[in-house]
C-alpha cells in the first residue's frame, strides 16, 4: 500500500510539473495597444546635422537690439595691491556684466555659458617692452584672465581715484569678446584673419574686432557707472589718450568707438565691420 501511495504521489507531482511547464512555455497573446504606429511618423532626415548658420558681420541681428539699460550692481572697492581684492573686483564685474548683457542675449534667444573670470600673477612670455597684455579672453575655455603684473605696471600711471573706472572698462572690453563669441561674430573674425590674403587685411579684421569690443566696453561703462560721472572721460584719458596700435587702432579711433558704445541707442552703434576704413585704422 505504501508503494502504491508513493507511486500515485509521483504521478501527481509529474502532472503538476507538466502543467506548470505548459503554462510557462505557452506563448502569450500580445495585448493590442490600440494606438497609431508612431514610427511611421519619424523623419530620418532630422538626424542629420543642421547646416551652420550664416553669420553676416556687417548685417548681424545683434545690431538691431537696444543697448543694455543701466543696472544697479555695486562693485567692491578695489585695492590694486591685493590679489584677493583684484579677484573679487574682477569676478563681481563679471557678475554685473552678465546681468547687464542678459537682455541682449534674451532678445536674440541665445543662452550662452557664462564666462569664468580669474587673475594671474604670472607675466606672459609674449609681452614686449612696448606691449603688455592686460587681460585676455579664451573662447575655447570660456575664460577671462587678468594679468596682474601688467595691470599694476600700467596702473602706476593712473590716479587711485580713477583705477576702478579704468579697470571696469578693461573687464567690459574682455566681456565684449564673449558677446562676440556668443553671437558668432568672433569665430567668423578668426576665420577671416586666418584666411586673409595679406597682413594688412588680417590687421584690418583684427582692428574691427577689437574696436567693436572697445565700443561694447563703452556700453558697459554707461550701464555700470554713475550716469552723471566722468567715467568715459577718465577711461579715454588713460586708455585711449596714448599711442596708436596696429592691433587695436589709433588712440582717436579707440576713443571714438568707446564713446559710440556709451551713447548709442542700439548695438548697431558698434558695427565696426560696416564702418569706413578711416574709422578703424
* Number of neighbouring beta carbons within 10 Å of residue 124: 13
Residue 273 has which C-alpha cell?
Answer: 565691420
pLDDT band at 265 (very low <50, low <70, confident <90, very high): very high
What confidence tens digit (pLDDT) does each residue in 31-45 have? 555 566 665 656 555
What confidence tens digit (pLDDT) does each residue in 195-208 have? 999 999 999 999 99
Asked whether the beta carbons of 163 and 80 are under 8 A apart, the reply is yes
Element (H, E) at 188: helix 185-194
Average pLDDT over residues 213-236: 96
Ordered strands of the 143-147 beta sheet: 116-120, 143-147, 135-138
With a pLDDT cut of 70, the percent of the chain lying above it is: 79
Which range in 5-9, 237-241, 248-252 is most confidently predicted, on average pLDDT? 248-252
Q: Note the pLDDT of residue 127.
A: 66
Q: Note the pLDDT of residue 280.
A: 98
Round the average pLDDT of the chain to a whole number and report it: 87
Amino acid at each position: 500500500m505504501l508503494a502504491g501511495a508513493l507511486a500515485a504521489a509521483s504521478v501527481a507531482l509529474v502532472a503538476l510539473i507538466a502543467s506548470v511547464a505548459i503554462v510557462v512555455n505557452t506563448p502569450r497573446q500580445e495585448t493590442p495597444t490600440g494606438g497609431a504606429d508612431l514610427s511611421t511618423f519619424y523623419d530620418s532626415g532630422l538626424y542629420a546635422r543642421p547646416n551652420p548658420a550664416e553669420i553676416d558681420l556687417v548685417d548681424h541681428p545683434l545690431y538691431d537690439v537696444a543697448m543694455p539699460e543701466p543696472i544697479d550692481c555695486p562693485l567692491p572697492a578695489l585695492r590694486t595691491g591685493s590679489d584677493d581684492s583684484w579677484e573679487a573686483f574682477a569676478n563681481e564685474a563679471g557678475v554685473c556684466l552678465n546681468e547687464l548683457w542678459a537682455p541682449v542675449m534674451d532678445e536674440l534667444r541665445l543662452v550662452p555659458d557664462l564666462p569664468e573670470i580669474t587673475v594671474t600673477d604670472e607675466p606672459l612670455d609674449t609681452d614686449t617692452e612696448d606691449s603688455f597684455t592686460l587681460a585676455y579672453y579664451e573662447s575655447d575655455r570660456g575664460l577671462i584672465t587678468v594679468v596682474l603684473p601688467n595691470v599694476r605696471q600700467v596702473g602706476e600711471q593712473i590716479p587711485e581715484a580713477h583705477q576702478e573706472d579704468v579697470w571696469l572698462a578693461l573687464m567690459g572690453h574682455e566681456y565684449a569678446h564673449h558677446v562676440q563669441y556668443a553671437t558668432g561674430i568672433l569665430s567668423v573674425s578668426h576665420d577671416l584673419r586666418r584666411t586673409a590674403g595679406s597682413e594688412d587685411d588680417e590687421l584690418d579684421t583684427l582692428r574691427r574686432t577689437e574696436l567693436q569690443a572697445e565700443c561694447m566696453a563703452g556700453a558697459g561703462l554707461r550701464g555700470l557707472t554713475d550716469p552723471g560721472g566722468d567715467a568715459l572721460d577718465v577711461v579715454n584719458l588713460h586708455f585711449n589718450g596714448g599711442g596708436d596700435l596696429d592691433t587695436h587702432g589709433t588712440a582717436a579711433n579707440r576713443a571714438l568707438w568707446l564713446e559710440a558704445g556709451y551713447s548709442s541707442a542700439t548695438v548697431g552703434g558698434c558695427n565696426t565691420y560696416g564702418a569706413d576704413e578711416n574709422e578703424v585704422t
